[in-house]
Amino acid sequence: MRTLERPKPNQRTNTDATGMRITLCRRCGSSDVVKYGICKGQQRYFCMSCQRKFADSNALLYKRFPVEQVGAALSMFYSGFSTREIGQNLTQQYQVPAPSKSTIYRWVAAYTSAALQCSPGVQAITGDA
């Protein structure tokens, strides 16, 4: 009996005719991918089309931390947590080494400016006004 793996939210996957999951290249989208070993408990792949190696993770392209952790860090920052407290909470919540305080601050700076560019003219409704 075959069991299907549930794809990770940000991972590019497809299914073949038999219903098995096919991993697609994170850079070029090709399905011409072979397993390339395991590093730090994470499956690695090699794309035969673009000749690149990539990990089977749900991190953003060229990033180390998954989207869920970055989103949680941003949420905590805007809830009033310090960068040190955010690192401690991420370690407790995800059982991973904490990102540095400067990494967390770079996430806040980068994704806040990206959010502002994507939503021009949006005003937050606050208070009794």
Domain count, the chain: 2
Answer for the pair 32, 49: CB distance below 8 angstroms, yes or no.
yes
Same domain, residue pair 87 and 48:
no
User: CA nearest 100: which of 92, 88, 110?
Assistant: 88
Q: How does DSSP classify residue 64?
A: S
**pLDDT single digits (tens) 29-70:** 888 889 988 877 778 889 999 998 887 766 666 677 888 899
pTM over the 0.85 mark: no
Range of the domain at 29: 13-55
Pairing of strands 53-55, 42-47: antiparallel
Tell me whether residue 88 is in a domain: yes
Tell me whether residue 3 is in a domain: no
* The 3-state secondary structure of 17-36, one letter per residue: CCCCEEECCCCCCCCCEEEE
Same domain, residue pair 46 and 73:
no
Tell me whether residue 4 is in a domain: no
Domain boundary residue, one of 5, 34, 55: 55
